[in-house]
Amino acid sequence: MTKGRVNPERTLEQQGITGLGEVHYNLLEPALVEQAILHGEGTLGKGGALLVTTGKFTGRSPKDKHIVRTPSVEDHIWWDNNAPMEPEAFDRLYDDMIAHMKGRDYFVQDMYAGADANYRLDVRLVTELAWHSLFIRHMFRRPERDELDTFEPEFTVINCPTFKADPARHGCRSDTVIAMNFDRKLILVGNTEYAGENKKSIFSLLNYLLPEKGVMPMHCSANHAKGNPVDSAIFFGLSGTGKTTLSADPDRILIGDDEHGWSDRGAFNFEGGCYAKTISLSPEAEPEIYATCSMFGTVIENMVFDEETLALDFEDDSLTANMRCAYPLDYISNASKTGLAGHPKNVIMLTCDAFGVLPPIARLTPAQAMYHFLSGFTSKMAGTERGITEPQPVFSTCFGAPFMPRRPEVYGKLLREKIAKHGATCWLVNTGWTGGAFGTGSRMPIKATRALLSAALNGSLANVKFRKDPNFGFEVPVNVASTAVPDILLDPRRTWDDASAYDRQAKKLVEMFAENFTQYEENIDDDVRAVAIG
């Protein structure tokens, strides 16, 4: 039995998926909230938000992600970063998952990724959980209702948390699996309730498809000046570095908080919503994001709450430090209605430096920008992945290695070409530690970061005096006209009690950068190689 609006020629049965229980197609938010409550998947919170938990999986499982090795993709995949799965093993996985699904109820959302119609990808997401279907409606872009009558999904994602894979039979690492088959246009997700796997599977898909079309797929947030979509900025960064927080600037228009493309026409959002971290979220620092936590249909993931009053505890991370809220973009008052903007004038690379070495902001040459983009240095924050309980310094190329099917140089070259063609100014912004390393120093003041970014975006920072950093060679402002940014903060060495200890820490970090970058030296231009050598 089916319910909801769907192309009658593209039901699951037409796709060969038969024998299911009740299939709910393209339900709207009220019906999905109702179904989630009826199925015991969550609690109705203040304002109609849906409060859910994801069990033991409170973050992504990147080591359980596989790409099916077929002749069409064999020579294009970065196999050092993506675990292979043989086609026969995937076929067994698919057959066993479909058999497991028999008789069970499922929820289908026909959505698309990509605000630019020239690069739109129509996808079908089949989920066992009603709240996953609600999450998907927030995170992806919604076709008009009458479009659903003729909707033709190009790729299908099947997410079945109650299905456990068999590593011996299915050629995977554990009983949790995320398997992508580009030939069959299928993505299978099993044995994890973490909703982020849904959105990142589509992001990985776009990261493979779009470079062939000359589009740079980016793990970044983006905004533009009010009344001027041509004046746009993009913010690269891993989870926890501030992409969502820093792009949600009340003085600018939010394009999106996580995934974008850069084409010959400009920047465009892949998604239709935001997935913001809520730990220590406050109405003073982030009023609009905070307000979404009590709006109808917002998915509140892994947050502790008072069972009587339903009040959320934004400081209790006993479930996970990766507590989140998912909501549609239109819940933010200054969000773009089109998801489109011009070519970025500013490219910001966010890093969370747990060493306490990097300055709060630095200006990069194009060669330095490619060096830092390929390096992707940051600190992996607690809770983002299973097993991470405190910040760990990591190099995640392109600020998103887990989502990159192709070699990093493919994305690095695309980014550099677009920066050069459109004359973007590049900045490295440290949202991590100052005055010492993690455990000794303190977190970079958010007010200072915001003030420096505002100065960079409005152009005033270009007019201040800069010094050359002795460790990395980039330019660092000496002072800025803002009480939120004392001069001492701009020189991290001065913020340490022991300057010689800073020097040792800086030397250690420079050596880490150099050692990590050796893997790219054969495939880069001489000027970027010169940055690496110093």
Q: Which residues are annotated as a binding site for substrate?
A: 60, 194, 200, 324
| Binding site feature residues for Mn(2+) | 200, 219, 258
The answer for residues whose C-beta is within 8 angstroms of residue 72's C-beta and 6 or more apart is: 182, 183
Can you read off the two tokens belonging to residue 186? 């299928």
Residue of 66, 170, 224, 324 with catalytic role: 324
Residue of 258, 317, 353, 469 with catalytic role: 258
Residue with tokens 């020239």: 118
| Binding site feature residues | 60, 194, 200, 219, 237-245, 258, 286, 324, 449
Residue of 244, 384, 425, 434 with catalytic role: 244
Tell which residue, 8, 345, 398, 40, has the closest CA to residue 219: 398
Catalytic (active site) residue 243: yes
Residue of 58, 133, 201, 239 with catalytic role: 239
Catalytic (active site) residue 318: no
| Binding site feature residues for ATP | 200, 219, 237-245, 286, 324, 449
Residue of 10, 24, 60, 132 with catalytic role: 60
Residue of 124, 137, 141, 200 with catalytic role: 200
| Residue 1 to residue 223: CA distance in whole angstroms | 44
| Residue 221 to residue 114: CA distance in whole angstroms | 14
Q: At what angle do helices 499-517 and 526-533 cross, to 10 degrees?
A: 140
Tell which residue, 141, 500, 127, has the closest CA to residue 338: 141
Residue of 132, 138, 219, 343 with catalytic role: 219
Residues 277, 324: contact at Cβ < 8 Å? yes
Phi and psi at 522, nearest 5°, equal -75, -20
| Residue 72 to residue 65: CA distance in whole angstroms | 19
Catalytic (active site) residue 239: yes
Residues 24, 4: contact at Cβ < 8 Å? yes
Catalytic (active site) residue 200: yes
Phi and psi at 412, nearest 5°, equal -60, -45
DSSP state of 335: B
Catalytic (active site) residue 46: no
Residue of 65, 142, 243, 407 with catalytic role: 243
How does 456-494 read in b/e, with b if 16+ C-beta sit within 10 Å?
A: bbeeebeeeeeeebebbbbbbbeebebeebeeebbbbbe
One-character DSSP codes across 50-104: EEE--TT--SB-GGGEEEE--TTTTTTS-TTTSEEE-HHHHHHHHHHHHHHHTT-
Q: How many CA atoms lie within 13 A of 386 on its CB side?
A: 16
| Residue 417 to residue 369: CA distance in whole angstroms | 12
Query: What is the tally of helices (H) and strands (E) in the chain?
Result: 13, 29
Can you read off the two tokens belonging to residue 205? 């898909």
Active site residues: 60, 200, 219, 239, 243-244, 258, 324
